[in-house]
Amino acid sequence: MSRAQQKVAGIVLAAGASTRMGRLKQLIPVGGETLIEQVLAPILGSRLDDVVVVLGHQAREIETVIACRFPDPRLHIIENRQYLQGMASSLAAGIASVEGTHDHAMIFLADMPGITARLIDRLLDAFLASGMRIGAVKGEGRPAHPVIFSRELYGELKGLTGDAGARPLLHKYSDTTCLVEPEAGYDSFDIDTPKDYAQFQTKDKEPQ
């Protein structure tokens, strides 16, 4: 199947309750917008065919922000009512929403503002050319987000439990994963705690 015939969806996991942050992380201010907006902008700026955002905690509030900012027909918002069961439940919900229509799914975390459209497209191209079942950005010698999975792993992804996300499959198939070097200057920093947020704000203000 040629690249033009293969459909790839992005799945953004944004359902968490932000317990470590102490407030709704998806809507914290980052660079004049909210964190979820800053994460979604480059994802929607990439060549992904469709983008699914999985919401859970305070879903309506987050959905309102997203819908106002991104009137993109490729964007689809779903709700995972079982989000308290862990990240794997949101991953399963996202996969279930695309398994009948898309050949591959690229997974994103909603707290990584350093992702760029160029990096997404670079990973996409390398993965499709490799013919492997998994592709990931190379971070300190190991797979890091974003990560892309072929359809043949959808069943295993839907069977995961807990809060480790797809990590078990990355370990299981580590020798058959296409690792892609990130672009120069790529920052894989994620925002989990108030300390992370303060550190990111300081970095964001540093002269380039």
pLDDT digits (tens, 9 = 90+) for 132-175: 999 999 877 678 889 999 999 999 999 999 988 898 999 999 88
**Dmax over Cα atoms in the chain, in whole Å?**
46
3-state helix, strand, coil in the chain (%, to 5): 40, 25, 35
Model confidence over 96-125: pLDDT tens digits? Answer: 999 999 999 999 999 999 999 999 999 999
Sign of the dihedral defined by the CA atoms of residues 128, 133, 135, 141, in that order = negative
Please identify which residue in the block is written with the tokens 């953004």: 12
pLDDT for res 2: 58
Residue 206 pLDDT > 60: no
CA distances from 160 to 43, 98, 151 (A): 25, 17, 15
3-state secondary structure of 42: helix
Task: List, in order, residues 6 or more apart from 176 with CB less than 8 Å away.
Answer: 132, 133, 134
Single pTM value for the model: 0.94
How much of the chain, in percent, has pLDDT values that exceed 90?
75
Domains (range + CATH), the chain: 3-202 (3.90.550.10)
